[in-house]
Structure formats: C-alpha cells, structure tokens
C-alpha cells in the first residue's frame, strides 16, 4: 500500500498513448517486479527525481531523446556534491530498467538510457564506514549481556534473545537491516551441507545473483 501511494505521487503523464495501461499501474508493476525492497526504494527515488526534472523542462517520458538524457546526466554531475559512481550508475540502471519494462509492455519502442556511458566503479572500495573487529566483538558481547540480564522465561529475555540473533546475523552475514528484518525461518535452506538463507547475496550490487550466504554456527 505504501509503495502504491508513492507511485501515485510520481509526476507521471495522465496516460500512455495507444494503450489501456495507466502510467501509475505500469510503473507499479515494474517496481514490484524488483525482488529487493532496498532496490525498490532506491529505484522509486531515482525515477521520481528523473520525472520531476522532465516535468520541469516540459518533456514527456516517452518522447525523451538521447540528448535529453545527456542533459539530465550533466545536471547530475554538476550537483554538489556529485553522486558517487555507484549511485550514478544505479540511477541510470533504474531509468533503463523502467524503459525496458515499458518496451516489453509495448508502451514504447525506445530506451533512451540504454547506451549512456556508465562510470567505472572500483569494486574493492567502499565509502561506508565499517566496524573494526574489536568493535564487532564488543557489539556482540553487549548483546550477550542484554540476554543475561533477564531470567529464563521472561518476556524481556525473549526480546533480548531476538535482538542478539539479529545483531549476530548483521555481524556475520553482512546483511542490510532491511534484509535481516525481512527474513523468515522458512527462508532457511540446506546448501552443500550448511544452513543458508534463501536470498540474493547481499554483497552483490542489486542482488543479481541468487547466492545463499551460509549461516555461521554463532548465528
């Protein structure tokens, strides 16, 4: 429902010429086809920024040319601070994905973003600040202490045990918070003799691979 309202708020055209499918409905279908909630949120934000710019310059999304997209790209790069290479590429990926969906739905015949040059990304570098090994260990000890603070059978102990499990999963599996909180016991599978989560590998941008990160004994 929240995604539906967010799509309704996008500055989309009133209709797609020559088709019965409303712009909001086709865009919602495209967005919900993305498996990762994180990707859906990012793509919704990226598309909203693009559509807002198109409306400000009086351009229809289906009439956009490559030169229009190049103008938009130049605008992004002039922003202070400019988006990181990964964020820039994700924005282009979101727009290209949207246009590909509209092509598959016979709403348009062109993807003006397809040939736009992406920015090289150093996969070995991340601007995200991580915890040191000592900090992770202290984090886990604090979670253990929170459990030990309550007696067996106490509702507060069950809450602390849940929190310890979540903290351990974040520390050992490298999950995003949204990925960890979205998991269910039914997502557990056996893979090569190990317990593993049935989900896209969190270290793969966009969740493209269906790797199953093994669950450590501590988890």
Q: Per residue in 188-200, pLDDT tens? A: 777 666 667 665 4
Q: What is the mean pLDDT of residues 142-164?
A: 91
As assigned by CATH, the class of the 2-104 domain is mainly alpha
Q: What is the mean pLDDT of residues 46-65?
A: 97
**pLDDT at position 185 over 80:** no
- Band (pLDDT 50/70/90 cuts) for residue 119 is confident
Angle between helices 155-173 and 133-148 (to 10 degrees): 160
**pLDDT at position 217 over 70:** no
Q: What is the pLDDT of residue 187?
A: 74
Q: What is the mean pLDDT of residues 146-154?
A: 90
Answering whether pTM is above 0.75, one says no
- Locate CATH 1.10.150 in the chain: 2-104
Provide φ and ψ at 194, rounded to 5°. Answer: -120, 150
**pLDDT at position 41 over 70:** yes
Mean pLDDT of the chain: 86
Most confident of 23-27, 117-121, 153-157: 23-27
Q: What is the pLDDT of residue 204?
A: 45
169 vs 62 pLDDT, higher one: 62
């Amino acid at each position: 429902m929240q995604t539906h309202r967010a799509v309704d708020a996008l500055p989309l055209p009133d209709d797609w010429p020559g088709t019965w499918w409303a712009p909001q409905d086709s865009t919602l279908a495209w967005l919900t086809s993305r498996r990762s909630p994180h990707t859906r949120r990012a793509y919704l934000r990226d598309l909203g920024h693009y559509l807002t710019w198109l409306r400000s310059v009086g351009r229809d999304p289906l009439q956009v040319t490559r030169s229009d997209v190049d103008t938009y790209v130049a605008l992004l790069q002039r922003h202070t601070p400019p988006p990181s290479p990964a964020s820039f590429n994700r924005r282009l990926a979101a727009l290209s994905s949207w246009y590909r969906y509209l092509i598959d739905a016979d709403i348009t015949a062109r993807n003006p973003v397809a040939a736009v040059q992406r920015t090289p990304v150093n996969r070995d570098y991340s601007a995200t600040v991580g915890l040191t090994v000592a900090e992770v260990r202290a984090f886990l000890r604090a979670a253990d202490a929170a459990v030990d603070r309550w007696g067996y059978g106490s509702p507060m102990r069950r809450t602390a045990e849940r929190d310890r499990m979540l903290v351990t999963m974040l520390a050992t599996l490298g999950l995003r918070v949204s990925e960890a909180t979205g998991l269910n016991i039914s997502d557990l599978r056996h893979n090569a003799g190990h317990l593993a989560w049935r989900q896209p590998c969190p270290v793969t941008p966009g969740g493209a691979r269906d790797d199953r990160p093994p669950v450590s004994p501590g988890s």
